[in-house]
Amino acid sequence: MIRIVTVKFRTAGKHYDFAAGDLDLHPGDGIIVETDRGRALGRVVYAPREIRPEKAPENLKQVIRQATAEDLELAADSEAKEEEAFRFCRERIVGRKMEMKLVKAEYLFDASKIIFFFTADGRVDFRDLVKDLAHHFHTRIEMRQIGVRDEAKLTGGIGVCGRELCCCTFLTSFAPVSVKMAKEQDLALNPNKISGQCGRLLCCLNYEYETYRDMKKCLPKCGRKVQVEDQTGEVVGQNVLAQTVTVKLPDSRSIEIDPDDLTAVQQPADQSKPAPKPAPKQRARKTTARSHPDARKPRDDSEQKAASSLGDKPESVSGTPAEGGQAETPSRKKPRRRSRGKGRSQQKSPSGDKNG
């Protein structure tokens, strides 16, 4: 069995699993772990748990040790230098007239690297900027481009609800949000009301989406004909949280009533089912001699003999002999064929021919 511990590196940051070994760890303890970017200071989220080796994540890193007072003091000193690094980098960006917005500067706990987070519309060539920063700070520099949601997560702020932003307090990952979620909850599709500080749709639209969908299944849909108070009305509104519907009666009155007190009106069969669509007309194709199935069939021996006999002894058309005592044969038009000999004779001979 392998002991796994869950760690995070910042408030509302992503959770990562590390091999705890034999260390006695508790939630909130500071530990030093090995990451792809080097050593980092993290906080324990959950107590260690044991899992089977085949269920362990790939490339599992090891927890080096528990953080000491010196490690915490070193991390505090590095955090104090972030403001000065942010100010100098922003000055160099303005001096070089680069189209990018600096969001945050972050030191590793041992000051071995500085990470600068920025946003931009496209790709930015920051090679000269990195040279200036490395020459000034004498440490490794990393430039990381992020999106607008990550920018709001790093900077923080107050949402339209009056509370601190979800992404910088407890939301560890961003779930996809669509306008359909706002429609399902009967919210006004006003961009100023359903958009957050980042300019994207509010993440909280995803919190109650499934609840609204399940509660709407118990209510009749708008436009449905129902029977209430011995009258036939139409559902014109729904109150999902109160589980009631608004029904408009024939006398133009609107009442709010519980769906258990309604009786659905059965629609006639001919109205409930849509009329079948007429089948598209197909154009009849003209049959030609080539496409006719009997055109390519070879003649039988009897047909060939009959054809030859007609050619030897033609019959008269009217049954009476023509002038000269001979019967007239029906005239048949033979198809004109292009003689190959004439075509060849008309072709010009090559220039090397003496007869030319």
- Give residue 92's pLDDT: 94
Find the CATH number of the domain harbouring 122. Answer: 3.30.300
Q: How confident is the model at residue 135 (pLDDT cuts 50, 70, 90)?
A: very high
Mean per-residue pLDDT over the chain, rounded = 79
What average pLDDT does this structure show over 7-34? 88
As a three-state string, the secondary structure of 275-305 is CCCCCCCCCCCCCCCCCCCCCCCCCCHHHHH
219 within domain boundaries? no
Greater pLDDT, 288 or 144: 144
Same-domain status, 62 and 19? yes
- Give residue 319's pLDDT: 43
Q: Which amino acid is at 297?
A: K
- Give residue 306's pLDDT: 47
Q: How confident is the model at residue 233 (pLDDT cuts 50, 70, 90)?
A: confident
322: Cα separation from own chain's centroid: 88
Same-domain status, 8 and 49? yes
Q: What is the tally of structural domains in the chain?
A: 4
302 within domain boundaries? no
Same-domain status, 209 and 229? no
Same-domain status, 142 and 156? no
Same-domain status, 204 and 165? yes
What's the burial of 245, exposed, middle or buried (CB within 10 Å: 0-12/13-18/19+)? Answer: buried
Residue 243 belongs to domain spanning: 225-264
Same-domain status, 132 and 173? no
Q: Is the pLDDT of residue 354 over 50?
A: no
Greater pLDDT, 272 or 99: 99
- Give residue 266's pLDDT: 64
122 within domain boundaries? yes
Least confident among 121-125, 146-150, 219-223, 264-268: 264-268
Which of 11, 37, 67 is where one domain is finished?
A: 67
- Give residue 144's pLDDT: 93
- In percent, how much of the chain has pLDDT > 70? 74
- Give residue 346's pLDDT: 46
What average pLDDT does this structure show over 279-286? 62
Q: How confident is the model at residue 256 (pLDDT cuts 50, 70, 90)?
A: confident
Among 157-161, 327-331, 337-341, 346-350, the range with the most confident prediction by mean pLDDT is: 157-161
Q: How confident is the model at residue 252 (pLDDT cuts 50, 70, 90)?
A: confident
Q: Is the pLDDT of residue 123 over 80?
A: yes
What would the pLDDT profile of 189-205 be if each residue is shown by its tens digit? 998 889 998 999 999 99
Q: Is the pLDDT of residue 291 over 70?
A: no
312 within domain boundaries? no
What average pLDDT does this structure show over 132-157? 92
- Give residue 263's pLDDT: 77
Same-domain status, 42 and 94? no
318 within domain boundaries? no
Find the CATH number of the domain harbouring 248. Answer: 2.30.30
- Give residue 257's pLDDT: 86
- Give residue 277's pLDDT: 65
330 within domain boundaries? no
- Give residue 335's pLDDT: 60
Cα dist from 282 to 278, 285, 287, whole Å: 12, 9, 15
In our burial notation (b when 16+ CB lie closer than 10 A, e otherwise), range 5-42 reads: bbbebeebeeebbbbbeebebeeebbbbbeeeeeebbb
Tell me the longest C-alpha to C-alpha distance in the chain: 138
> pTM of this prediction?
0.63
Q: Which amino acid is at 193?
A: K
Quick one: angle between helices 69-80 and 82-95, nearest 10? 30
Strand partners, 65: 32
Q: How confident is the model at residue 222 (pLDDT cuts 50, 70, 90)?
A: confident
Same-domain status, 174 and 133? no
Same-domain status, 12 and 29? yes
Same-domain status, 156 and 128? no
Least confident among 24-33, 82-91, 332-341, 346-355: 346-355
Same-domain status, 158 and 190? yes
- Give residue 342's pLDDT: 47
What average pLDDT does this structure show over 292-297? 50
What whole-number distance in Å separates Cα of residue 171 and Cα of residue 14?
Answer: 9
278 within domain boundaries? no
